[in-house]
């Protein structure tokens, strides 16, 4: 998306009408980020080839011109006419995910990203943008694409910082660890804020899970960054949970710097519960693999585009039994343990009856949007199916995290 914005920057920079470009915008967060960050922006062109993403964007921002084309389909002349001052990039993550083929720059889906890098040198663009922010999944930091990007930025005279941040760092009970790069160029030779200053924007008092703590990466050796979740083993408890898993979740739930799930839920009276309850076949097949949270929990797993359609690894489900409605924390946890212990020793019918007691349901799209930091003003068109709502949210970013990073970038 291309946007004209007025950057409220420090005295080092003049406050003027500058322009920002948001690329690979199957994500629908950019205007929400602008409002959250306090940096005014007028989007002059939104670019996407995803029909649903465009439909949702048009619904929320009807006055913004929408271009249905690829990034590499935009000519150099068109870029120069926009005279943009900021690039916000979120390249397709599939070439870099740990569970994918990790095709890196050989993957065709990096074509638009490489096209932008080719435009950056001074010989191509008539004017270099002052600011650059990129997001991607964990795994990008060790890719050839990252190395190429960093070298290009250095050649163009940018200073930059790389940081891994999860929404838990801003008190949101959702794990979504992502790689971010912030870069700045200035004729006054003033660089980006220092590592400690960037980390300071995400300061937390809790220390429940070191893997979720924000950390600045060493540019010379990005591979030293610790994994999102250390693979540790322990004695299997109920479900397929190890003692290590249980301890990690307990630590997360005890972190008072993170808000509770119930702060992000829709009122029960506004939800048609039957639409979101897990069906019997899903309960019987995937019960042992689900990540189950209660309203009083202070954690949830990353929501992906497959949420509501697939179960394993796509996001947490919510326990809505009477015990959780009464906010009886210990009682609801005891109930879940009693349901799962010895579950495999029962008949299919008995298993189902035990599992149904938990009233497990999916988070609604609105609740996922809340956990992703979207403002209440954001909504979906009535004609967009629930499955597609989950999909575009799963492809998006956390608005609060990116807004904080933008403030750090332009300050």
Question: Is 156 in the active site?
Answer: no
Q: Evaluate whether 140 touches 100 at the Cβ level (below 8 Å).
A: no
What is the b/e burial string over 82-111, where b = at least 16 CB atoms within 10 angstroms of the residue's CB? bebbbbbbbbbbebbeeeeeeebbebeebe
| Full DSSP string of 19-56 | EEEEESTT---HHHHHHHHT--EEEEEEE---HHHHHH
For residues 86 and 7, what is the distance between their CA atoms, to the nearest angstrom?
A: 10
Q: Evaluate whether 405 touches 133 at the Cβ level (below 8 Å).
A: yes
Q: Evaluate whether 258 touches 173 at the Cβ level (below 8 Å).
A: yes
Q: Evaluate whether 298 touches 252 at the Cβ level (below 8 Å).
A: yes
Q: Which residue in the block uniquely carries the two structure tokens 């403002």?
A: 375
Q: Which helix (H) or strand (E) holds 198?
A: helix 195-200
Backbone angles phi, psi at 307, to 5 degrees: -65, 140
Counting every residue written for the chain, the total comes to 411
Torsion angle defined by CA atoms of residues 357, 361, 367 and 372, in that order, rounded to the nearest 10 degrees: 110
Instruction: Label residue 404 exposed, middle or buried (CB < 10 Å: 0-12, 13-18, 19+).
Output: buried
Provide CB contacts within 8 A for 194, sequence distance 6+. 161
Catalytic residue, candidates 5, 93, 225, 302: 93
**Tell me, what DSSP letter sits at residue 114?**
H
Residue 355: strand, helix, or coil: helix
What is the b/e burial string over 176-214, where b = at least 16 CB atoms within 10 angstroms of the residue's CB? bbbbbbbbbbbeeeeebbeeeebbebbebebebbebbbb
Q: Evaluate whether 272 touches 282 at the Cβ level (below 8 Å).
A: no
Reported as half-sphere exposure (CB side, CA atoms, 13 A), residue 222 has a value of 19
Catalytic residue set: 93
């Amino acid at each position: 998306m291309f946007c004209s914005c007025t950057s409220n920057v420090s005295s080092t920079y003049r406050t003027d009408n500058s322009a920002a470009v948001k690329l690979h915008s199957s994500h629908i967060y950019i205007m929400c980020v602008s409002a959250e960050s306090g940096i005014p922006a007028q989007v002059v062109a939104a670019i996407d080839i995803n029909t649903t993403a465009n439909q949702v964007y048009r619904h929320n921002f009807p006055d913004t011109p929408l271009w249905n084309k690829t990034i590499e389909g935009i000519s150099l002349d068109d870029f120069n006419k926009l005279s943009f001052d900021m690039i916000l990039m979120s390249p397709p993550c599939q070439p870099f995910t740990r569970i994918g083929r990790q095709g890196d720059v050989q993957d065709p889906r990096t074509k638009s990203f490489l096209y932008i890098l080719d435009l950056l040198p001074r010989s191509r663009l008539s004017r270099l943008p002052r600011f650059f922010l990129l997001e991607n999944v964990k795994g990008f930091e060790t890719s050839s694409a990252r190395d190429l990007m960093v070298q290009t930025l250095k050649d163009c005279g940018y200073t930059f910082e790389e940081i891994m941040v999860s929404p838990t760092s801003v008190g949101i009970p959702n794990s979504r660890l992502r790689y971010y790069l912030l870069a700045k160029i200035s004729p006054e030779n003033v660089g980006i804020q220092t590592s400690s200053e960037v980390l300071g924007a995400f300061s937390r008092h809790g220390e429940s899970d070191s893997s979720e703590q924000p950390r600045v990466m060493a540019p010379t050796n990005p591979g030293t960054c610790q994994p999102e979740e250390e693979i540790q083993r322990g004695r299997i408890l109920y479900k397929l949970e190890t003692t290590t898993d249980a301890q990690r979740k307990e630590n997360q739930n005890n972190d008072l710097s993170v808000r509770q799930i119930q702060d992000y839920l829709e009122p029960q009276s506004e939800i048609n519960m039957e639409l979101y309850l897990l069906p019997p076949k899903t309960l019987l097949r995937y019960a042992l693999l689900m990540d189950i949270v209660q309203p009083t929990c202070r954690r949830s797993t990353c929501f992906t585009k497959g949420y509501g359609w697939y179960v394993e690894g796509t996001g947490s489900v919510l326990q809505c039994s009477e015990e959780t409605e009464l906010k009886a924390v210990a009682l609801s946890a005891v109930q879940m343990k009693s349901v799962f212990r010895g579950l495999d020793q029962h008949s299919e019918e008995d298993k189902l009856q035990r599992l149904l007691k938990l009233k497990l349901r999916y988070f609604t799209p609105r609740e996922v949007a809340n956990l992703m930091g979207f403002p209440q003003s954001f909504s979906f068109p009535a004609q967009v199916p629930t499955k597609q709502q989950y999909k575009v949210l799963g492809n998006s970013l956390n608005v609060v995290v990116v807004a904080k990073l933008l403030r750090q970038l332009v300050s």
